[in-house]
Structure 1
Amino acid sequence: MAFATSSSSISASFASHSSSQQERKYSKIGSLRPISSQRRSLVKPICAEPKRNDSVVTAAASTLAVPEKVEIEDYEKLAKELQNASPLEIMDKALEKFGNEIAIAFSGAEDVALIEYAKLTGRPFRVFSLDTGRLNPETYKFFDAVEKRYNIHIEYMFPDAIEVQTLVRTKGLFSFYEDGHQECCRVRKVRPLRRALKGLRAWITGQRKDQSPGTRAEVPVVQVDPAFEGVDGGAGSLIKWNPVANLEGNNIWSFLRTMDVPVNTLHSQGYISIGCEPCTRPVLPGQHEREGRWWWEDAKAKECGLHKGNLKEENIPKLNGNGNAAANSNEIATIPDIFNSQNVVTLNRTGIENLAKLDNLQEPWIVVLYAPWCPFCQAMESSFNKLADKSAGSGVKVGKFKADGEQKAYAKQELQLQSFPTILFFPKHSSQPIKYPSEKRDVDSLLTFVNALR
């Protein structure tokens, strides 16, 4: 078990525990003995890894007492009370309430801010992370830098070797590119997380409302975890704290720069949301941070399963055979259309089929295949409309084709659609459209593409 703690906290812990408590041994995960309802004298570790020799926390400091009686709390009410509280205040409340039975989930990205906030409270705290076996080298180096900076031992959780072996031998190393990321994430992330949380009563995450408007817009600062169970088992046995839920990404980065904490070097290469190496790539100006995750999928809900409780049942997209989301017709009807410039031509199925069939167009076309609900399509609306305005009278037509719902199968088979948005250029003397290969969707990049091919 590992903690980050100040010297004053350590001294207090030494003074409050006898030598007999120092000799008490913990059980490993999978062999946890039931906790008495009368008294919780010890807290089980997330994983029973040996401590580093240079750890400043001895066995005496790892036997923090917890309350004999756990009071039933109204967490919806508490969330409202803390709605306008600072992250530091929320973090302090979480550590105060749960002591050694709560831990920070650290992903190796900007949620290092959570560790800094925990340190600033002056209270002991624990940190755990999921090592999927497929992280970037930079992330592993970042883990080491964080351990040294805060003098802590991150408690790593690993996927089950047999499950990984079965997945890879059966489906290969990169099956997620073909059938969606959920199965791989379930083996490498969700199940290890489930084991970790079974040793806790609460956990702390770096979720923010602005990270994913489709799935995280209503994340409260504290909640009963809707998806996972804690040490007591059963619904309601785990509390989830989200101290930075109300912050925006730029606020987090201002805090990190001010406190001069170590950060993952991948951030300087354009990565914002960082996951496994095969499933993460940099994002470009104008792109949402989650667009760098599982970019080959066009699902509205870009979640790996760690926070699946964010997905309301009515918002969970139905998946087709390749793991992509099939839009719900009732939902589409309530979402306003996009790319509504007077210079953008709306193409129906017949119109796009004609473009794809004609060998001699009078004018070249650039067409966006889109879905109105797609946040990445919404993000490029302004630049595409500007492209249409700049192209007016130039001999290049600009169009849009709504390719979700019942049109999606056709678009995937005939129009090279893999994810939304897909941009196609139809030359004058060819029926074969050319797919825009770049993730740069600013108007200048789009104009360069058009002018090179017109």
Structure 2
Amino acid sequence: MALYVASSSSPSTSISSSTFPFSTSSSELSAPPISSLRLSDWNRPHVLSQGVNSSRRNCSVKPVNVEPKRNGSIVPLAATIVTPEVVEVVEKVQVEDYDQLAKELECASPLEVIDKALEKFGNDIAIAFSGAEDVALIEFAHLTGRPFRVFSLDTGRLNPETYRFFDTVEKHYGIRIEYMFPDAVEVQALVRNKGLFSFYEDGHQECCRIRKVRPLRRALKGLRAWITGQRKDQSPGTRSEIPVVQVDPVFEGIDGGIGSLVKWNPVSNVQGEDIWNFLRTMNVPVNSLHSQGYISIGCEPCTRPVLPGQHEREGRWWWEDAKAKECGLHKGNIKEENTAHLNGNGNAAAQANGTATVPDIFNNQNLVTLGRTGIENLARLENRKETWIVVLYAPWCTFCQAMEASYIELAEKMKGTGVKVGKFRADGEHKEYAKRELQLGSFPTILCFPKGTCRPIKYPSEKRDAESLMAFVNALR
């Protein structure tokens, strides 16, 4: 947005709205860094017009502002010399109904959504890039022909392959990724007090808060909007309802306060398979970790490849329950729920509002549903006549949901073999019992109860395809 100021010799000259074009030609000069403007420059029209240029096409972009508040920025100073007419335009942008906009863009393509976002926010929006398949966002932004900014969080614990990928992306698109780093003092205190791998013992939230959430918060304080690669199919437990665009429920933008930051999720309605088809079609560079079985990529100690039958998100923080599979960057996705009490068969659970239910899974005529009494009796039998395989599950767990098909296939293959295939819902009021007596660590946990013995044997592998489960049972029956 170019700003033209009347000469200082005519202080009474007013500025009309026509002097604030929303687009400029590509021949205009690129903007100098904000810090390079001197107070005396405000009386030099040719300098000021460069300082606030945010051309739609082919202009330079300023880096993410990492300061808590941009007190010396051009925006508030420019606002003091504009007419009331222009101020009213700004007010309308701030109070836009993004719920309505989300509905209008629900069926729009990612390219259309990103083009709308870049047009609306110009230099005050940036793409959050993690080094995974969200490189698609950069490709879409590139295809719009508009200038765009990209930032990433360097936690200091990323895979070497991810760092090399960052460099490849910069060279491929001719851009500079704006890296955000954690506070060195905070990292040092955490490592000195708890060691390098404390998250394996007390959860990943503290480490993520220091290495990711706080740097992100600083980055977003210099923006009015950001673009993320969230998809509904990434994590059904926490991302199934994300809209295409929303007022950010957690973070603040440059103006501060609730509603000061807009969050765009252009690929929220796109399936992962379609993202990969797009990347292959457009010959977009991808992280080499993907060819090694990694899908969701984060820090090296907290990320691993997924195996057959596993959901992509299970490669992250695998030692924790599914409900904790957000690092804090998208904390607004997680909704508080009261763990429900089971009915007699353990087939359903009421949610927090008391009306909806969590539908049960592993429903098949070849599967035996065990209640609390049933599993206790099975565990106590010393001379069992039949071999059992039982999954300890929770219907809301995305990883249990991901293995449902393979487990039902196992039940069908075991029909008539003398092996019973069962399920026991081990969340809610039964969770402590399952932890204490049934070796429950996280969901799902799979146990084999061989005939003639009383001690259940825990399935040790992360492979949950039907063939692997069958090999486990056949080795013990």
Tell me which of 269, 277, 284 is aligned to 1:261.
284
What SS does the corresponding residue of 1:423 show, helix, strand or coil?
Answer: strand
Residue pair 1:39, 1:69 contacting (<8 A) in 2 also = no
**Mapping of 1:132-281 within 5 angstroms?**
132-281=155-304
Q: Give the deviation of 1:316 after TM superposition.
A: 8.1
What SS does the corresponding residue of 2:116 show, helix, strand or coil?
Answer: helix
Q: Give the deviation of 1:311 after TM superposition.
A: 2.3
Query: Which residue number in structure 2 is paired with residue 367 of structure 1?
Result: 390
Query: Which residue number in structure 1 is paired with residue 40 of structure 2?
Result: none
Q: Distance in 1 between matches of 2:209 and 2:148?
A: 27
Q: Distance in 1 between matches of 2:379 and 2:287?
A: 45
RMSD between aligned residues: 2.8
Q: TM-score, normalised by structure 1?
A: 0.83
Matched, 1:346 2:366: no
Deviations 1:395-444 (Å, cap 9, x if unpaired)?
A: 22222111111111111122111111111112234332221122222211
Residue pair 1:214, 1:301 contacting (<8 A) in 2 also = no
Aligned residues: percent identity?
73
Q: Distance in 2 between matches of 1:354 and 1:129?
A: 53
Query: Which residue number in structure 1 is paired with residue 59 of structure 2?
Result: none
Q: Give the deviation of 1:345 after TM superposition.
A: 2.1
What SS does the corresponding residue of 1:228 show, helix, strand or coil?
Answer: coil
5+ residue gaps, structure 2? 1-23, 33-45, 53-61, 81-87, 341-347
**Mapping of 1:30-429 within 5 angstroms?**
30=68, 32-35=70-73, 36-37=75-76, 39=78, 69=90, 71-72=93-94, 73-313=96-336, 315=337, 330-331=350-351, 334-429=357-452
Q: Give the deviation of 1:234 after TM superposition.
A: 0.6
Matched, 1:12 2:35: no
Q: Give the deviation of 1:201 after TM superposition.
A: 0.9
Q: Distance in 2 between matches of 1:447 and 1:427?
A: 13
Residue pair 1:300, 1:317 contacting (<8 A) in 2 also = no
Q: Give the deviation of 1:97 after TM superposition.
A: 1.3
* Structure possessing the higher radius of gyration over alpha carbons: 2
Q: 1:28 to 1:376 in 2, by over 3 A?
A: closer
Q: Give the deviation of 1:10 after TM superposition.
A: 9.8
Q: Give the deviation of 1:360 after TM superposition.
A: 2.7
What amino acid is the match of 1:175?
A: S
Q: TM-score, normalised by structure 2?
A: 0.80
Q: Give the deviation of 1:370 after TM superposition.
A: 0.8
Q: Distance in 2 between matches of 1:269 and 1:15?
A: 42
What SS does the corresponding residue of 1:300 show, helix, strand or coil?
Answer: helix
Q: 1:15 to 1:389 in 2, by over 3 A?
A: closer
Q: 1:450 to 1:127 in 2, by over 3 A?
A: same
Q: 1:162 to 1:329 in 2, by over 3 A?
A: farther
What amino acid is the match of 2:165?
A: F
Aligned residues: 412
Q: Please say which of residues 226-235 and 279-288 is displaced more in the overlay.
A: 279-288
What amino acid is the match of 2:78?
A: R
Q: Distance in 2 between matches of 1:107 and 1:272?
A: 12
Q: 1:409 to 1:151 in 2, by over 3 A?
A: same
Q: Distance in 1 between matches of 2:213 and 2:409?
A: 43
Q: 1:244 to 1:338 in 2, by over 3 A?
A: closer
What amino acid is the match of 1:331?
A: Q
Residue pair 1:215, 1:301 contacting (<8 A) in 2 also = no
Q: Distance in 2 between matches of 1:431 and 1:201?
A: 61
Q: 1:226 to 1:444 in 2, by over 3 A?
A: same
